[in-house]
Amino acid sequence: MTDMRRTLLWVVFTMSLVLLWDGWNKHAGRPSMFGGASRPAAGASAPLSAPGAVPAATTIAAASVSAPIGAPPSGAASAPAAAQTVTVATDVVKATLDARGGDVVRVELLTQVDQNDRSKNVVLLDRSAARIYLAQTGLIGAAGLPTHLTPMLLQPGETTLAPGRDAISVVFESPEQGGVRLRKTLTFNRASYAVQVRHEVVNTSGASLSPQLYLQLVRDGNPPPGESSFYSTFTGPVIYTDASKFTKIEFKSIEKTAAEHDKSADNGWVAMVQHYFFSAWLHNDKAPREFYTRKVDNNLYAVGEIFALGEIAPGAAKVFDSQLFVGPQEEKRLEALSPGLELVKDYGWFTIIAKPLFWLLDQLHTLLGNWGWAIVALVVLLKAAFYGLNASAYRSMAKMKAINPKVMALRERLKDKPQQMQQEMMRIYKEEKVNPLGGCLPILVQMPVFIALYWVLLSSVEMRNAPWVGWITDLSVKDPFYILPLVMTATSVFMTWLQPTPPDPMQARMMWMMPLVFGVMFFFFPAGLVMYWITNNLLQIAQQWWINRQMGVN
């Protein structure tokens, strides 16, 4: 049974290495070992001369759809389009808007430092030679309606949020086109990453019209700059509805036209997600909407939603309000913006455990004023909560270590008689009142909690640029001097010494290699994650040493 336990542990260890290697292959643009296309390689940006496909109006309206929905016109991949742009600055964002369609073509986050170049801020939306990532809107449902390709007139007004003001608005107005005039107003608020976007559609024709409004995000499939090769985070479109909840869509599934998600609902939102940051189109009122994902061009993808504006009589107008969020995944802020929006901070399968863990971590940060010490305090609290379970596991390990010389002598004496050896080993376990699997169950019970905490620390944008002590000035990047990974490796080796040595020499050698292999991996992990493991190791060592001492085990 001891061999079975160790075999299970080695299977887990081996699979971890396989998955890490597979993640590295996909990150480098090579095929996955498990099949499927890899993410499009960086630098494969598309020629943007084709405007892309048109989202079909299915159940919302049967009107013909002729407006192109997709990439900007030719030339946008190599240089900004030759159209009027305006830059809007608030206390938290600097946004560039294009008079062609009133698109948002660049957003710089003034409170987020770029970790690849600390002299700059994070740029999320962008239209440059290196990146295509845009927020677009327009009308469909009849020929000639204004789209994101339509030149619009920028109305006079302020573009910088002055001290003492809470909001600033930028207005674009289209010429009369397709029997309508479109007025698009973007309102930027102080201390907010959410832009209020109002579309006012005026019917200037002599007949009733029933246009549809599309809101979409267009992005290339390249990974964000500086993405780690040693752990994987999701980058791509997301669709949320009350029915299906949070649905992630891989770029490769869009490439194959195999994306599975809700196609319609009377609620929900669309987003583009990456590590720490995202953009989203939000409309919280219950209203029928169509969801779509599509390949716009080579290495260029769109996610969006279409709203029916209803019938507009001649000379009448229809107003539609929505929000465009472009910013960090700050969980507390997102919960107030739209149902389910906090899920963009992706904890995977462990969300139900991770959310209360983050809440507790946030409370500790409020109390201690430092995210590093909050991590330490949280691990201490968790170890205290599981003290009883751990004590049971460590007593079992201590007993196993105490009888290990007797077991090894037995294995040597009966190595040619495996059946008799197993019987004798079971007799020894029974006489010594030792359960070979007694150390496994308590550890398995705790694993979901500590895996959830791992994802909390990996996903929390609050760790970016958060200092701890001394040389650790950013908990979300690796230790610049590799001191923490060395300490973590040393504590892991010491933990191995405290545990019973496997009777099989090969297993024993591999047991000592495990902390060294994982130690190398942790050289490239964020400092906050390494701190978490060090704290956990030290507390585990202290408890195991104390129990070994109580039981007289060396």
**Whether residues 415 and 328 fall in one domain:** no
**Whether residues 417 and 528 fall in one domain:** yes
Strand bridging mode 194-203 / 212-220 = unpaired
Q: How far apart (Å, rounded) are the C-alpha atoms in residues 115 and 118?
A: 6
Q: Which helix (H) or strand (E) holds 8?
A: helix 2-27
Q: Write the pLDDT tens digit of every residue in 415-467.
A: 788 888 888 878 887 777 776 655 566 667 778 888 898 889 889 999 999 99
499: containing domain: 356-550
Q: How far apart (Å, rounded) are the C-alpha atoms in residues 465 and 121?
A: 12
DSSP 79: S
Q: Write the pLDDT tens digit of every residue in 319-333.
A: 999 999 999 999 989
Q: Residue 430: what pLDDT?
A: 78
For residue 500, is pLDDT > 70? no
How confident is the model over 123-139, as a mean pLDDT? Answer: 96
| Of 212-226, 235-249, 487-501, minimum mean pLDDT range | 487-501
Q: Are 165 and 191 in contact (CB under 8 A)?
A: no
**Whether residues 379 and 514 fall in one domain:** yes
**Whether residues 360 and 429 fall in one domain:** yes
| pTM of the entire predicted model | 0.79
Taken in order 488, 493, 498, 500, is the CA torsion positive or negative? positive
Q: Residue 15: what pLDDT?
A: 46
Q: How far apart (Å, rounded) are the C-alpha atoms in residues 328 and 100?
A: 27
DSSP 496: H
Q: Residue 56: what pLDDT?
A: 38
What percent of the chain has a predicted confidence (pLDDT) above 90? 56
3-state helix, strand, coil in the chain (%, to 5): 35, 25, 40
Q: What is the mean pLDDT of the chain?
A: 82
Q: Are 183 and 171 in contact (CB under 8 A)?
A: yes
Q: Write the pLDDT tens digit of every residue in 272-320.
A: 999 999 999 999 999 999 999 999 999 999 999 999 999 999 999 999 9
Q: Residue 319: what pLDDT?
A: 98
Instruction: Show the tokens assigned to 552.
Output: 């007289």
Strand bridging mode 167-173 / 153-154 = antiparallel
Q: How far apart (Å, rounded) are the C-alpha atoms in residues 104 and 99?
A: 9
**Whether residues 309 and 328 fall in one domain:** yes
Of the candidates 312, 10, 343, 348, which has an alpha carbon nearest to the alpha carbon of residue 141?
Answer: 312
How many domains would you assign to the chain?
2
Highest mean pLDDT among 69-83, 234-248, 514-528: 234-248
Q: Are 272 and 134 in contact (CB under 8 A)?
A: no
Strand bridging mode 180-189 / 194-203 = antiparallel
Q: Residue 450: what pLDDT?
A: 81
**Whether residues 330 and 379 fall in one domain:** no
**Whether residues 390 and 268 fall in one domain:** no
Of the candidates 420, 334, 422, 372, which has an alpha carbon nearest to the alpha carbon of residue 2?
Answer: 422
**Whether residues 403 and 320 fall in one domain:** no
Question: Which of 298, 325, 345 is at the close of a domain?
Answer: 345
Number of other CB atoms surrounding residue 554 within 10 Å: 6
State how far Cα 291 lies from the chain centre: 21
Looking up residue 295, the CATH number of its domain turns out to be 2.70.98.90
Residue of 226 and 462 predicted with greater confidence: 462
**Quick check: is 29 in a domain?**
no
For residue 344, is pLDDT > 90? yes
Identity of the residue numbered 492? S
**Whether residues 216 and 275 fall in one domain:** yes
Instruction: Show the tokens assigned to 286.
Output: 């219950």
Q: Are 276 and 266 in contact (CB under 8 A)?
A: no
Residue of 18 and 536 predicted with greater confidence: 536
Residue of 76 and 276 predicted with greater confidence: 276
Q: Residue 404: what pLDDT?
A: 75
**Quick check: is 7 in a domain?**
no
For residue 497, is pLDDT > 70? yes
* Confidence tier at 171 by pLDDT (50, 70, 90): very high
How confident is the model over 2-16, as a mean pLDDT? Answer: 45
Strand bridging mode 167-173 / 180-189 = antiparallel
Number of other CB atoms surrounding residue 135 within 10 Å: 29
**Quick check: is 283 in a domain?**
yes
Question: Which of 292, 326, 345 is at the close of a domain?
Answer: 345
Q: Write the pLDDT tens digit of every residue in 525-537.
A: 899 999 998 998 8
Residue of 79 and 503 predicted with greater confidence: 503
**Quick check: is 263 in a domain?**
yes
Q: Residue 134: what pLDDT?
A: 98
**Quick check: is 16 in a domain?**
no
- Radius of gyration for the chain, computed over Cα atoms and rounded to the nearest angstrom: 29
Q: Which helix (H) or strand (E) holds 389?
A: helix 387-413
Q: How far apart (Å, rounded) are the C-alpha atoms in residues 93 and 160?
A: 11
How confident is the model over 361-369, as a mean pLDDT? Answer: 96
Instruction: Show the tokens assigned to 265.
Output: 């609902």
Q: Which helix (H) or strand (E) holds 295?
A: strand 289-297
Highest mean pLDDT among 25-34, 69-78, 281-290, 543-552: 281-290
Of the candidates 219, 361, 197, 232, which has an alpha carbon nearest to the alpha carbon of residue 278?
Answer: 219
For residue 210, is pLDDT > 50? yes
For residue 261, is pLDDT > 60? yes
**Quick check: is 468 in a domain?**
yes
Q: How far apart (Å, rounded) are the C-alpha atoms in residues 128 and 108?
A: 13
89 CB burial (10 A radius; 0-12, 13-18, 19+): middle
**Quick check: is 457 in a domain?**
yes
Q: Write the pLDDT tens digit of every residue in 40-67.
A: 333 333 332 233 333 333 333 333 233 3
**Quick check: is 398 in a domain?**
yes
Q: How far apart (Å, rounded) are the C-alpha atoms in residues 121 and 111?
A: 7
Q: Residue 75: what pLDDT?
A: 30
Q: Are 107 and 94 in contact (CB under 8 A)?
A: yes
Q: Are 274 and 192 in contact (CB under 8 A)?
A: no
Which residues are bridge partners to 189 per DSSP? 167
Residue 387 three-state SS: helix
Of the candidates 67, 129, 75, which has an alpha carbon nearest to the alpha carbon of residue 101?
Answer: 67
Q: How far apart (Å, rounded) are the C-alpha atoms in residues 524 and 261?
A: 35
**Whether residues 278 and 338 fall in one domain:** yes
Q: State the DSSP string of 324-380.
A: EEEEE--HHHHHTTSTTGGGGS--GGGHHHHHHHHHHHHHHHHHHS-HHHHHHHHHH
**Whether residues 339 and 430 fall in one domain:** no
**Whether residues 163 and 240 fall in one domain:** yes
Question: Which of 312, 345, 378 is at the close of a domain?
Answer: 345
Q: How far apart (Å, rounded) are the C-alpha atoms in residues 383 and 398?
A: 19
